[in-house]
Amino acid sequence: MATKLVIFDFDGTLGDTRRKIIITFQRTMRERGLEVMSEEVCASTIGLTLEDGFKAMYPTLSDTEAEACVEHYRRVFFEDIDSTIPELFDGVEDALARLSAMELKLTIASSRSSPSLTLFLKSMGIADYFSYIVAADTVSKHKPDPEPVLQTLSVCGYKPEEAVVVGDMPVDVLMARNAGVRSVGVTWGNATRKELETAEADYILDHISELFDCL
pTM for the structure as a whole: 0.94
pLDDT of residue 84: 84
What does pLDDT average to over the chain? 97
What confidence score (pLDDT) does residue 111 get? 96
- The proportion of the chain whose per-residue pLDDT surpasses 70, expressed as a percent, equals 100
Catalytic pick from 11, 16, 168, 172? 11
Q: How far does Cα 17 stand from its chain's mean position?
A: 10
Give me the pLDDT at residue 83, please.
Answer: 80
Rounded distance between C-alpha atoms, residue 55 and residue 60, angstroms: 7
Whether 5-16+86-214 shares its CATH topology with 18-83 is answered no
- Over range 114-136, report the average pLDDT: 97
d(CA 136, CA 112): 5
Q: Architecture of 5-16+86-214 per CATH?
A: 3-Layer(aba) Sandwich (3.40)
Residue 52 catalytic? no
Quick check: 13 and 87 in contact, CB under 8 A?
A: no
CATH topology of domain 18-83: DNA polymerase; domain 1 (1.10.150)
Contact 105, 6 (CB under 8 A): yes
Q: pLDDT tens across 67-104, in order?
A: 999 999 999 999 988 888 999 999 999 999 999 999 99
Question: Which of 9, 16, 52, 172 is an active site residue?
Answer: 9
What's residue 1's pLDDT?
72
Q: Is 9 a catalytic residue?
A: yes
Q: Domain residue spans in the chain? A: 5-16+86-214, 18-83
Q: Residues of the chain with pLDDT > 90: what percent?
A: 96
